[in-house]
Structure formats: structure tokens, C-alpha cells
């Protein structure tokens, strides 16, 4: 499909690729991984023909039809969602343009005109083109994709400017998925997506039976969709078939082998040099000494292997200042804003109440578009409440990370100047160390802010927040654009932060073990779920596209589930049945695995043409066993928490 041959590319002073080669093959399901700034997005730009390498070749086969999704899509703000998706479809745009031209000609030509029949033939050919590519069914397919991505029927005709950046991301995804392709390139597709939409997208990709390559830092989504992980480096790739966890194990094993090999070589060289020094002065050993020295000089020198990127643990702390017992209190608050089209006020929340105390770590959950970011900005007094009161504790100091790119950044500065301007007490060396924790290494810190991508802006704003003296952090989608290592480092720092947190995030792995309280905003109602985020995932999380319901006593669904013994009994039976089914599947696969192992252990079988096929099947069986075993462990744990088997 696409070959990268001996690619060389710099980004400023940084070497991205130096003799890089890779082949994207038909039918592949690949995730590209690597640290931020390693060139993943650049590869996509080259593959799509939007960027030429400094040297080397990018060869695309003639039958490759590529569709690319980029992290920050752009489209007309005054066009409806459905028209935007259709107009951006290459085949539909070609068809619609020709159709309109033919219609305009029909308006000016008489049916007696000799060219009238030619125009009819042209129209007939165009309709054949539409039929061949099923363009008359395109709108229905577009609506199906938009629905899967979380748009309601009423949303289809709304203008794109009425939607948040998160929904612009989804519109861009819909365009990429609908465009004709046999190779799909998706750059961070799961940013801004809730769990339900991620699940839909994963199912869609797997069911399409088309080649796709992802750049994603979402471990769960990666494991659901791809069969191959590619780690890129300046010279090429490390290719691995298996889950992300298995990839890490393989990388660690290779790292240990390299370290052992280096240590063995160092020990050997040391012993030989000690021998040389011992006998160098003896005339009778002169010839032997020179011979040993020459052999050592000819020996290929092994470099001490650098610590694997995946094992690096950036270490920093968010700066904390002591607080009073109460951070903030919101009472009987309401907020609304007028609809841009109708002028009618839309209620975001009413009669809302929340109190955050010292040390509280609060997750704010709810469906996309419910107004979570707006509520956060109201708590920061960036929006004025319609009704109600907001109280800050006397020692409250807030820090804020917005998901909006570029907020509060001075484009005239470079990165290190930005840090030093905000924190004059920091030396340039300390500023560079701080930036290094967020994937701005070496001379990359001198890059101008105005040339930063959206992801780089996000990382810079997070870096700036680390040194901000605060006792309560407000974080709106902090993990978007973060690679796995940086994300884990941020999580560790937040767990260690003695202050309070209010977090909006669609990344459940990031939130697990972090938040001890959960509030839900949906349908204009802010509800205290009285549980940690982990308990919310286990017992409460349902279809967030629906508003939360209350029973007559005003109990939440979380409380109802705990109080409903019949529901618990039914749930227990369902879990018991799933465990039994999983055990049957695992037993069957273990038998198949054993049969394959016996076959592969036969030395003669290596000569067989079907060896690679059998090896691939064996690896598939191992992966499926691992997935089913993980599910068995999760279900068993859930059953134990409900009191075990009845």
C-alpha cells in the first residue's frame, strides 16, 4: 500500500528520521506507538502526500485509496453537520458539483437544441457514477456514522459552530470514516470520546475489513482494535504482534538482554586489558600483547543501552500551598445561555450544589455536551451565575487546565521563555528540566509557541501548571495528547498531590484510583453519586446519553442497586453464567494451544510452508486466552465483591 524508503527528516534541530524505512501492507491493523514528538503525525502527513521528506521516497501503490483523520479538523462554521460530512466526501463532492452544473445547463438550453441529447447522456453517465459508488445511499450512511459518534437526529441540521471542540473532533472522524478508502489513518481518534463512542468506533473499525493505522495513547482502545504494534525510531520500526501489555514485556526482555550483553562485553574487555597491562612490559609476551590489542581494536564496540522510553518515570510534584478546610461551596446555582439560532435560553444546570473540601479528589462525569466544562468555568468565576452563590475558602488557590488549545499562551515567546516569564525564580536549566518531563527535550525548548501543535500546547500548559502554587486543581481533559509514559507520570503526581482536584476526563484508566468522590451532570441536574470513581465504574456507569433518573425517594441508581436485592440476585446469576462460559472457552483454547505446541515442536515442521500460518494461529490463540482470562478475573472479582457464588 505505502512504502517509506530511507526517509530523512528534521524538525528544527531535532532528527525525526535518519534512514527510516517501513511498509504499510494491505489488510493491516496497526497502532503506532512512541513518545510525543517521535514523528508519528509527520509519518501520516507524508503518507497522505501533505508533506514531502527532506530525502528518501514515499511510494504509494496505484490502488491505494487513503482517508486521513487529523487531530484538529477544520471546516466551515456556518454549514450544518450533515452537509459538512457530505461536502467533505470526495466522491460526493465530485458528483454534486457535476450535477449542479448539468442542472444549470438544462435551465438555459432548449430541448430542441442539438446538444440537449449530449447533456442527457452526460446526466445518465453521472447517475451511473452515483450508482456505482452508492452515492444516493451516502446520506443514510453518514447519519448512521454520526449517530454512532454521539449525534442526535436533531444535531444533523445544526451548524458546526454550535458544537464544542470535542464534537468538532467527532465531525472530523465522521468525514474520515465516510470518505472512500481502503487504508484509514487515524491520528488520536479517541480524544474527546466517551466510553460508549469509543466502543462503537472500535466495533466499526474491526467490522469494516479494511486496513487501518492508528496513532493512539489509549491502551484499552488499542487492544480492542489492532493486531500489530509498531514502535518507530529514527532508523525504522520495532514490530510486535500482541497486546500492549505483551509489547511492554517483550521490550523489557530485549532491554534486559542488551544490558546483559553489554555487561558481558565490558567484563571481557576489562579482563583482557588487565592481561595486557600485566604483560605489556615483558619482552617475551610482546607479540601476544600486540595481537590481543589488535583483536580488541577490531572488535565491534557495544554501546551501553539507554533506558527504554517505556521504563522512564518522569518525577515531579505539583506545588502545594496549605488550604482551609473548605475549598469552595456552590449553593442553589443556575446557569443558562441563549441559543445562537433561536435566542431561547438553554439551561446548563439549575439548583446545583457542590462542596469541595481539603483533600477531596472529585470526578465530574456526564454525557458529552451536558455542560461539564461550563460548570467548571462557573466555579472559576469565568462565567457569571444566573442564580445562586459561590463561596471560596479564605486560603483557596485554584489552578486550571482547559482543554481549549492556546489559552493564556504568548505566541511571541518560545517554550523556555514562557516558563521563565511565568516563574522568574526558575533558572533556565530548571525550566528545561520541567519541559523535558513533558516531552520537550534538548533544543526543542527553543521552539516558538506560535508553531506548536495543539498537542504540544496542551503539554506546555500542563508543564506550566506544575509550578503554580495551588491547593485545588481544576483539570478539563488533561490526558488528551499525552503519551502513555507522560500520562502515568501526571497521574502519579496527582495521586501524591495533597490538595484537592476536580477532573473532567473520558480516560477511565487515568481516573481509576485517583478520585474519591463523583458528581454527575446530566439533563441540567448536578447529582452527588456518593461514591468513588472506581465504584462509579463498577456499579453506576450506564448509557450516559440518557439523563439520570430518580426514583420516588430521590435515590440515585447507585443507591438503588445497593438497596435492590432482586437486582443483585439477577446480576449474580448473570456473572456466574458468564464465568462458566468463559471457563469452557478457555479450556477449549488451552487444548488447541497444546495441540499447536506439539506440532510446532516437531523439527521437521519448520520446513513446512504452512509453518508461519500455524505460528500466527498459535499467537492468536495465546492472545485470546489472555483476553478471556483477564475477563474471567474481572468477573470473578466482581462476583466476590457481591458475596461470592450463591
Residues 6 or more apart whose Cβ sits within 8 Å of residue 324: 358, 393, 394, 395, 396
Q: Which helix (H) or strand (E) holds 364?
A: strand 361-365
Residue 486 banded pLDDT, cuts 50, 70, 90: confident
Q: Are 59 and 2 in contact (CB under 8 A)?
A: yes
Ranking 146-150, 218-222, 274-278, 402-406 by mean pLDDT, the lowest is 402-406
CB burial string 281-306: b at 16+ within 10 A, e below: eeeebeeebeebeeeeeeeeeeeeee
Q: Are 2 and 63 in contact (CB under 8 A)?
A: no
> Strands, DSSP E only, in 409-558?
472-476, 500-504, 517-522, 525-528
Ranking 174-183, 423-432, 614-623 by mean pLDDT, the lowest is 614-623
398 DSSP β-pair partners? 472
Higher pLDDT, 350 or 248: 350
Residue 549 banded pLDDT, cuts 50, 70, 90: very low
Most confident of 159-168, 542-551, 591-600: 159-168
Using alpha carbons, list the distances in angstroms from residue 444 to 166, 414, 437, 460, 604: 28, 9, 13, 12, 54
Question: Is residue 606 predicted with pLDDT exceeding 60?
Answer: no
Question: Is residue 550 predicted with pLDDT exceeding 60?
Answer: no
Question: Is residue 348 predicted with pLDDT exceeding 50?
Answer: yes
CA-to-CA distance for 595 and 49, rounded, in angstroms? 47
Question: Is residue 552 predicted with pLDDT exceeding 70?
Answer: no
Each residue's pLDDT tens digit, 405-437: 556 788 888 899 999 998 999 888 888 888 888
Q: Closest Cα to residue 491, out of 513, 469, 506, 470?
A: 513
CA-to-CA distance for 587 and 300, rounded, in angstroms? 49
Whether this model's pTM surpasses 0.75: no
Question: Is residue 69 predicted with pLDDT exceeding 80?
Answer: yes
Average model confidence (pLDDT) for the chain? 81
Per-residue DSSP letter, 535: H
Q: Closest Cα to residue 468, out of 447, 489, 499?
A: 499
Question: What distance, in Å, lies between the first and last C-alpha atoms of the chain?
Answer: 55
CA-to-CA distance for 110 and 585, rounded, in angstroms? 72
Q: Which helix (H) or strand (E) holds 496?
A: helix 484-496
Each residue's pLDDT tens digit, 297-343: 766 666 665 655 555 666 788 999 998 899 999 999 999 987 766 66
- The radius of gyration of the chain's CA atoms, rounded to the nearest angstrom, is 30
CA-to-CA distance for 441 and 136, rounded, in angstroms? 51
Cell numbers standing for residue 32: 503506532
Strand 228-233 versus strand 345-357 pairing type = unpaired
CA-to-CA distance for 622 and 596, rounded, in angstroms? 11
Question: Is residue 566 predicted with pLDDT exceeding 70?
Answer: no
For 85-128, give the DSSP string: HHHT-HHHHHHHHHHHHHHHHHHHS-TTSTTHHHHHHHHHHHHH
pLDDT score of 304 = 60
Question: Could you tell me the residue ranges of all domains in the chain?
Answer: 80-179, 255-311, 326-554, 566-641
Q: Closest Cα to residue 373, out of 165, 602, 181?
A: 165
Each residue's pLDDT tens digit, 236-268: 888 888 888 788 787 777 777 777 777 787 787
Strand 66-69 versus strand 183-187 pairing type = parallel
- Torsion sign, CA atoms 296, 298, 300, 302: positive
Overall average pLDDT of the 379-404 stretch: 91
> On the CB side of 53, how many CA atoms lie within 13 Å of its CA?
24
The residue count of the chain comes to 646
pLDDT score of 611 = 59
Architecture of the CATH domain 326-554: 3-Layer(aba) Sandwich (3.40)
Residue 362 banded pLDDT, cuts 50, 70, 90: very high
Q: Are 472 and 399 in contact (CB under 8 A)?
A: yes
3-class DSSP assignment, residue 55? strand
Q: Are 401 and 476 in contact (CB under 8 A)?
A: yes
Amino acid at each position: 500500500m505505502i512504502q517509506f524508503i530511507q526517509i530523512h527528516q528534521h524538525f528544527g534541530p531535532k532528527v525525526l528520521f535518519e534512514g527510516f524505512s517501513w511498509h504499510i501492507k494491505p489488510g493491516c491493523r496497526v497502532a503506532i506507538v512512541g513518545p510525543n514528538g517521535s514523528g508519528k503525525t509527520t509519518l501520516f502527513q507524508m503518507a497522505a502526500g501533505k508533506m514531502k521528506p527532506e530525502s528518501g521516497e514515499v511510494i504509494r501503490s496505484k490502488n491505494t485509496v487513503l482517508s486521513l483523520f487529523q487531530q484538529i479538523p477544520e471546516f466551515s462554521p456556518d454549514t450544518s453537520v450533515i452537509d459538512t460530512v457530505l461536502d467533505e466526501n470526495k466522491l460526493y463532492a465530485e458528483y454534486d458539483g457535476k450535477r449542479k452544473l448539468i442542472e444549470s445547463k438544462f435551465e438555459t438550453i432548449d430541448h430542441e437544441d442539438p446538444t440537449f441529447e449530449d447533456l442527457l447522456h452526460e446526466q445518465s453517465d453521472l447517475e451511473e457514477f452515483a450508482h456505482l459508488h452508492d452515492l444516493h445511499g451516502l446520506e443514510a450512511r453518514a447519519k448512521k456514522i454520526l449517530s454512532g459518534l454521539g449525534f442526535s437526529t436533531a444535531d444533523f441540521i445544526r451548524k458546526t459552530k454550535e458544537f464544542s471542540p470535542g464534537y468538532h473532533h467527532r465531525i472530523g472522524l465522521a468525514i474520515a470514516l465516510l470518505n472512500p478508502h481502503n487504508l484509514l489513518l487515524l491520528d488520536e481518534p479517541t480524544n474527546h470520546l466517551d466510553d460508549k463512542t469509543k466502543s462503537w468506533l472500535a466495533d466499526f473499525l474491526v467490522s469494516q475489513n479494511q486496513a487501518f493505522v492508528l496513532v493512539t495513547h489509549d491502551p484499552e482502545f488499542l487492544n480492542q482494535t489492532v493486531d500489530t504494534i509498531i514502535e518507530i525510531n529514527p532508523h525504522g520500526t520495532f514490530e510486535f504482534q500482541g497486546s500492549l501489555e505483551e509489547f511492554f514485556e517483550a521490550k523489557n526482555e530485549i532491554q534486559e538482554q542488551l544490558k546483559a550483553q553489554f555487561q558481558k562485553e565490558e567484563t571481557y574487555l576489562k579482563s583482557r586489558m588487565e592481561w595486557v597491562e600485566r604483560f605489556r612490559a615483558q619482552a617475551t609476551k610482546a607479540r601476544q600483547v600486540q595481537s590481543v590489542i589488535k583483536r580488541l581494536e577490531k572488535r565491534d564496540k557495544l554501546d551501553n543501552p539507554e533506558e527504554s522510553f517505556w521504563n522512564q518515570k518522569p518525577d515531579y510534584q505539583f506545588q502545594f500551598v496549605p488550604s482551609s478546610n473548605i475549598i469552595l461551596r456552590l449553593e442553589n446555582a443556575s446557569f443558562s445561555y441563549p441559543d445562537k439560532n433561536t435566542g431561547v435560553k438553554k439551561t446548563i444546570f439549575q439548583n446545583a450544589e457542590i462542596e469541595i473540601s481539603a483533600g477531596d479528589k472529585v470526578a465530574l462525569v456526564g454525557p458529552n455536551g451536558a455542560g461539564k466544562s461550563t460548570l467548571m468555568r462557573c466555579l472559576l468565576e469565568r462565567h457569571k451565575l444566573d442564580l445562586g452563590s459561590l463561596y471560596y475558602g479564605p486560603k483557596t488557590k485554584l489552578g486550571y487546565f482547559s482543554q481549549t488549545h492556546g489559552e493564556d499562551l504568548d505566541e511571541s515567546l518560545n517554550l523556555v521563555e514562557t516558563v521563565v516569564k511565568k516563574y522568574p525564580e526558575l533558572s533556565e536549566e530548571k525550566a528545561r528540566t520541567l519541559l523535558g518531563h513533558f516531552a520537550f527535550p534538548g533544543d526543542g525548548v527553543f521552539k516558538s509557541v506560535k508553531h506548536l501543535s495543539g498537542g504540544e500546547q496542551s503539554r506546555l500548559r500542563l508543564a506550566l501548571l506544575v509550578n503554580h502554587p495551588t491547593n485545588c486543581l481544576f483539570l478539563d481533559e488533561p490526558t488528551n495528547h499525552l503519551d502513555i509514559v507522560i500520562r502515568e507520570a501526571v497521574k502519579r503526581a496527582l495521586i501524591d498531590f495533597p490538595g484537592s482536584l476536580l477532573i473532567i476526563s473520558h480516560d477511565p484508566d487515568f481516573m481509576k484510583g485517583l478520585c474519591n468522590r463523583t458528581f454527575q451532570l446530566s439533563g441540567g441536574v448536578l447529582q452527588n453519586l456518593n461514591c468513588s470513581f472506581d465504584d462509579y465504574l463498577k456499579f453506576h456507569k450506564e448509557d450516559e446519553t440518557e439523563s439520570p433518573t430518580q426514583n420516588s425517594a430521590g435515590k440515585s441508581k447507585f443507591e438503588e442497586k445497593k438497596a435492590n436485592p432482586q437486582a443483585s440476585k439477577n446480576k449474580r446469576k448473570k456473572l456466574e453464567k458468564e464465568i462458566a462460559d468463559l471457563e469452557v472457552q478457555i479450556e477449549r483454547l488451552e487444548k488447541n494451544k497444546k495441540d499447536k505446541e506439539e506440532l510446532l515442536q516437531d523439527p521437521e515442521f519448520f520446513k513446512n510452508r504452512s509453518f508461519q500460518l500455524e505460528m500466527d494461529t498459535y499467537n492468536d490463540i495465546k492472545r485470546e486466552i489472555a483476553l478471556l482470562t483477564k475477563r474471567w478475573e474481572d468477573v470473578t472479582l466482581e462476583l466476590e465483591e457481591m458475596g461470592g457464588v450463591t
